[in-house]
Amino acid sequence: MRSNPRRQPHDPPVSNRVAVRDLVIFQIKLALDGLGDLVLAPVSAVAFVLDLITGRKERRLFYSVLRAGERWDRWLSLYRPAREARETSEGLLGASRIDADTFLGKVEEVVSSRATRKGKETGGVRERE
Q: Where are the domains of the chain?
A: 16-96
pLDDT, tens digit (0-9, with 9 covering 90-100), for 8-49: 556 678 788 888 888 888 899 999 999 999 999 999 999 999
Give 122 or 127, the one with higher predicted confidence: 122
The chain-wide mean pLDDT, for the chain, equals 78
Identity at 70, one-letter amino acid code: E
Instruction: Return the percentage of the chain with pLDDT > 70, whole number.
Output: 72
Burial class (CB in 10 A: 0-12, 13-18, 19+), 125: exposed
- Sequence-separated (6 or more) residues with CB below 8 Å from residue 116: none
Helix axes 103-121, 16-54, angle to 10 degrees: 140
Task: Quote the pLDDT of residue 127.
Answer: 45
Has residue 3 got a pLDDT over 60? no
Task: Quote the pLDDT of residue 57.
Answer: 81
